[in-house]
Structure 1
């Protein structure tokens, strides 16, 4: 059973050194878990008893396709209409606590590992009806319609998805895919990638897709552009298009991360 890292906020002691692992470059950004403190949270319009850490947002000249937030909801909190933009799709992935998702009139109870794809224009709400705080990732993207294809909302669980081994890796590298990669209705994928200790991406991936990577579990050394960077559970990486990337998983347990990428659309030139 996986244990997903969830930030708790708070502030460091006045005696703590300022040195940390935060990095911002023109090709990538690393936001380490130590940055996710009370002072950098934001309230969200339409939500009650809720705060958020905004990890990524569109920035001209960098990653431009998506936003990613960690949302913490206290008991009794939530939102009747979370998504304010009609043309925006989303994914939520629960890491702690329990939430009640009402989607097109149907009620779903989400526990850690719960996953929901929320199609653009879907009617949904979220509520924390339990006695403990809940936390989830919320990834948002402006949906790019494609004639003849329509993405539909669905609910799933990490625990129920069988990871697909990457060819030739003997299970050292696998991906839990929540949608069929060949389904052109979907213009983004939010998957979970798992490396066993010692597993690696054995080449520098260099591609058009932008990435948001939140480390759910474990640690690794990640190559980002020309740099090798140590990352661990709770860290977030933000990669622009064509940033070279690779990794070695450090162990002693699995290294897992939630991965966003934009896919399945022609490049717009005008």
Structure 2
């Protein structure tokens, strides 16, 4: 109930009036029953705008700390993230990845829509990076369809590293559901998992229009930081020599 208050009474109308997000292909999202919404990830604002375009609740997983912080601040934080359609990672698993999968399965087993970012982290430069195979494993283990999803413009509204950017109308595009039932029982075959993940990422690329990089986003981000640090050190050394 708090989710619908947050979405339609408080936050939803404000975002709609100010940003007027556009939606394409929302008829591809099932009106009922479970589905995985696999999206690109440009900004922390993605999880606000994408669910806003659908009448159904979309659930994501979030850090357990968002739900366990003590005190009034912790309670308010828990209410916000719960209301915004996020659930904590199940910590009964062996690690965070296993816990996220367990939380996702609970949502799908209950007939809900589960949102996931196969890249694993936000793109630091607007390009689309290699997807992690967890989305493929989840699809095979649950047998539910995957709806490729693309958000465009959220990195303008909320650029990486900044809280606010400039105004634009975000666009959310949903592609045709992908059925991977032909691979039933093959969730432990890493080649099949990679093939499925690459197919999903190709559809996301087609919908988003992003340049694709066959490298994990986290690796690319660290390489970029390292290159920037080296460039700054070189520039400082040159300035020192000149002085």
**TM-score after normalising by structure 1:** 0.27
**TM-score after normalising by structure 2:** 0.29
Larger radius of gyration: 2
Indicate the structure with greater strand content.
1
Higher relative contact order (CA 8 A, sep 6+): 2
